[in-house]
């Protein structure tokens, strides 16, 4: 990676400490919007610099450019629209008082938005541009049609504080904090692993190979915001990650949580994930099979080609400033007693694999999870999660 593509420092959008009390007093007298889970995730990553180069919610011109070309109006690469959606009543009231306090579910003010533009959303066009489909079996499309307000807002965003998290404070690091941690540990090259699922032996093997081949330390950076409906919650997953960490060499890996609301947008989302990891100080990013894909559509066909994400990242790799580490699916070769990328097996190689769907069914039936697939302590954690809860 060339010096000009090395991770850069990006300012956050929180106002200086000495201005926060005054802004909070101002927010108390403003019309407010209580943010749902997705809006909270977006706001946190805007405020902490995870969504750099964004300096707030997209303007109408930026939004149009992102839909059509995956770029902001100034030409900067950005593939996913980050907008603040509101109901019609709120949009009309803003015309009278174009300043809005953004609050969490407990009513705590997090930011103030000086509204500069309001426009009606076009969910059909957005779905087609971002997701490549109007099929509402796609969770991103379904959210757009069923849960998104009909108007979008943009303007100057000033942050008071980041959303609070009661769980796992030791793993919740802002981009600036994580970059500083890498510097303190002397990590020059860092390869990030994105996941919304528990990790098993194949994932450990994959990340170790990525580390070895690129001379990089490993950041396990799972999503702890919104993932695909039906996914295992992040509480259980973090406990699984903690077990997995013990199987890496000392000082080779660290864990941090990403407060992201995934869109499951396949190739566009993979590019988005890479840009976010660059902001967090990573130099390399693992992209595997069907990265951020939601599975199959209403006809049973995959929404995205399994390696379309790798192709898109390859096209934009030099520009986005983080090096892609492509990987094929990892499969277990029992006769060799090891994991291999599926493209490095021959027709005569006997391979074993367990899909996520099959694993869930095995857990539901109380079946033993084979040791070649996962670690006993991870299997135990998942069995506890999958066991029927007593009323």
Of 333, 313, 373, 325, nearest to 209 by C-alpha is 325
Q: Which residue has the higher pLDDT, 72 or 356?
A: 72
Residues 12-22 as b/e (b if ≥16 CB within 10 A, e otherwise) read bbbbeeeeeee
How high is the pLDDT of residue 390?
42
Q: CB atoms < 10 A from the CB of 211, how many? A: 23
* Angle at the Cα of 169 from the Cα atoms of 108 and 104, rounded to 5 degrees: 15
Question: How far, in Å, CA of 192 to CA of 284, rounded?
Answer: 6
31 and 109 inside one domain: yes
237 and 307 inside one domain: yes
pLDDT surpasses 80 at 348: yes
Percent of the chain with pLDDT over 70: 96
Number of independent structural domains in the chain: 2
Q: Which domain holds residue 309?
A: 170-258+264-386
Q: Do 207 and 193 meet the contact criterion of CB atoms below 8 Å apart?
A: yes
How high is the pLDDT of residue 5?
42
**Stretch 325-343: mean pLDDT:** 93
pLDDT surpasses 80 at 388: no
Q: Which residue has the higher pLDDT, 48 or 344?
A: 48
Inside any domain, residue 164: no
193 and 100 inside one domain: no
Inside any domain, residue 165: no
Per-residue H/E/C for 158-208: EECCCCCCCCCHHHCCCHHHHHHHHHHHCCCCEEEECCCCCCCHHHHHHHH
How high is the pLDDT of residue 310?
96
Inside any domain, residue 229: yes
Question: How far, in Å, CA of 104 to CA of 81, rounded?
Answer: 21
151-159 sheet: strands from edge to edge: 32-34, 99-103, 109-120, 151-159, 84-86
Question: How far, in Å, CA of 140 to CA of 131, rounded?
Answer: 7
Q: What is the CATH number of the domain that holds 357?
A: 3.40.50.620
pLDDT surpasses 60 at 300: yes
Active site residue 196: yes
221 and 77 inside one domain: no
Report pTM: 0.94
**For the segment 148-167, what is each residue's pLDDT rounded down to a tens digit?**
999 999 999 999 999 999 99
**Residue that has been written with the tokens 């807002």 in this structure:** 153
Domain boundary among 159, 180, 212: 159
Domain boundary among 127, 159, 191: 159
Question: How far, in Å, CA of 8 to CA of 76, rounded?
Answer: 15
Backbone angles phi, psi at 275, to 5 degrees: -60, -40
- Helix, strand counts (H, E) of the chain: 13, 12
Place 130 in a pLDDT band, splitting at 50, 70 and 90: very high
188 and 326 inside one domain: yes
Active site residue 348: no
Q: What is the CATH number of the domain that holds 35?
A: 3.10.400.10
247 and 366 inside one domain: yes
Q: Do 287 and 270 meet the contact criterion of CB atoms below 8 Å apart?
A: yes
SS3 28: helix
Inside any domain, residue 95: yes
Choose, from 48, 133, 195, 207, the residue flagged as catalytic.
195
Inside any domain, residue 16: yes
Question: How far, in Å, CA of 293 to CA of 304, rounded?
Answer: 7
Interacting residues of 205 by C-beta distance below 8 A, sequence separation 6+:
330, 338, 339
Radius of gyration (C-alpha) of the chain in whole angstroms: 22
132 and 269 inside one domain: no
Pairing of strands 151-159, 284-287: unpaired
**For the segment 25-65, what is each residue's pLDDT rounded down to a tens digit?**
999 999 999 999 999 999 999 999 999 999 999 999 999 99
147 and 283 inside one domain: no
How high is the pLDDT of residue 2?
40
pLDDT surpasses 90 at 66: yes
Q: What is the mean pLDDT of the chain?
A: 93
83 and 147 inside one domain: yes
Choose, from 39, 103, 173, 196, the residue flagged as catalytic.
196
Choose, from 5, 137, 148, 197, the residue flagged as catalytic.
197
How high is the pLDDT of residue 386?
78
pLDDT surpasses 50 at 391: no
The tokens for 78 are 């950005």
**Residue that has been written with the tokens 């839909």 in this structure:** 67
Residue length of the chain: 391
Inside any domain, residue 57: yes
**For the segment 181-229, what is each residue's pLDDT rounded down to a tens digit?**
999 999 999 999 999 999 999 999 999 999 999 999 999 999 999 999 9
Inside any domain, residue 391: no
Estimate the share of the chain in helix, then strand, then coil, as percent rounded to the nearest 5: 40, 20, 45
pLDDT surpasses 60 at 3: no
pLDDT surpasses 70 at 387: no
Place 328 in a pLDDT band, splitting at 50, 70 and 90: confident
Percent of the chain with pLDDT over 90: 86
Active site residue 5: no
**Stretch 297-307: mean pLDDT:** 94
User: What is the distance, to the nearest Å, from the Cα of residue 285 to the centroid of all Cα atoms in its chain?
Assistant: 13
69 and 152 inside one domain: yes
pLDDT surpasses 70 at 9: no
Q: How far is CA 127 from CA 57, 80, 179, 203, 307, in A?
A: 18, 11, 34, 31, 21
151 and 182 inside one domain: no
64 and 204 inside one domain: no
Domain boundary among 108, 134, 159: 159
Q: Do 379 and 362 meet the contact criterion of CB atoms below 8 Å apart?
A: no
Inside any domain, residue 18: yes
Place 97 in a pLDDT band, splitting at 50, 70 and 90: confident
Q: Do 58 and 154 meet the contact criterion of CB atoms below 8 Å apart?
A: yes
The tokens for 375 are 């670690």
């Amino acid at each position: 990676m060339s010096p000009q593509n090395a991770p850069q420092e990006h300012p956050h959008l929180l106002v200086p400490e000495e201005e926060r009390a005054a802004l909070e007093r101002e927010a108390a007298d403003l019309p407010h919007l209580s943010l749902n889970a997705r809006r909270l995730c977006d706001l946190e990553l805007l405020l902490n610099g995870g969504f750099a180069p964004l300096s707030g919610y997209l303007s109408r011109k930026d939004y149009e450019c992102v839909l059509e070309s995956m770029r902001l109006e100034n030409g900067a690469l950005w593939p996913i629209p980050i907008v603040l959606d509101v109901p019609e009543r709120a949009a009309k009231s803003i015309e009278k008082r174009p300043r809005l306090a953004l609050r969490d579910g407990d009513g705590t003010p997090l930011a103030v938005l000086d509204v500069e533009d309001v426009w009606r959303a076009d969910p059909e066009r957005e779905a087609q541009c971002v997701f490549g489909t109007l099929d509402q079996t796609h969770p991103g499309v379904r959210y757009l049609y069923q849960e998104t307000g009909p108007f979008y807002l943009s303007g100057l965003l000033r942050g008071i504080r980041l959303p609070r998290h009661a769980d796992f404070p030791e793993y919740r690091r802002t981009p600036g904090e994580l970059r500083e941690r890498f510097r303190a540990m002397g990590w020059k090259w860092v390869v990030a692993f994105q996941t919304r699922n528990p990790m098993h032996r194949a994932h450990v093997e994959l990340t170790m190979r990525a580390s070895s081949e690129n001379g990089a330390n490993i950041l396990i950076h799972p999503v702890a915001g919104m993932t695909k409906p039906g996914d295992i919650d992040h509480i259980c997953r973090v406990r699984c990650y903690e077990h997995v960490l013990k199987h890496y060499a000392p000082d080779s890996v660290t864990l941090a949580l990403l407060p992201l609301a995934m869109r499951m947008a396949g190739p566009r989302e993979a590019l988005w994930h890479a840009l976010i990891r660059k902001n967090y100080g990573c130099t390399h990013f693992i992209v595997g099979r069907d990265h951020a894909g939601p599975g199959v559509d209403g006809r049973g066909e995959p929404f995205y080609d399994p390696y379309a994400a790798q192709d898109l990242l390859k096209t934009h790799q030099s520009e986005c400033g983080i090096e892609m580490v492509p990987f094929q699916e990892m499969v277990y070769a029992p006769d060799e007693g090891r994991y291999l990328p599926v493209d490095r097996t021959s027709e005569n190689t006997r391979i074993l694999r367990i899909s996520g769907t099959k694993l869930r069914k095995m857990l539901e039936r109380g079946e033993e999870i084979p040791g070649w697939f996962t670690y006993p302590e991870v299997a135990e954690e998942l069995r506890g999660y999958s066991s029927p809860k007593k009323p």
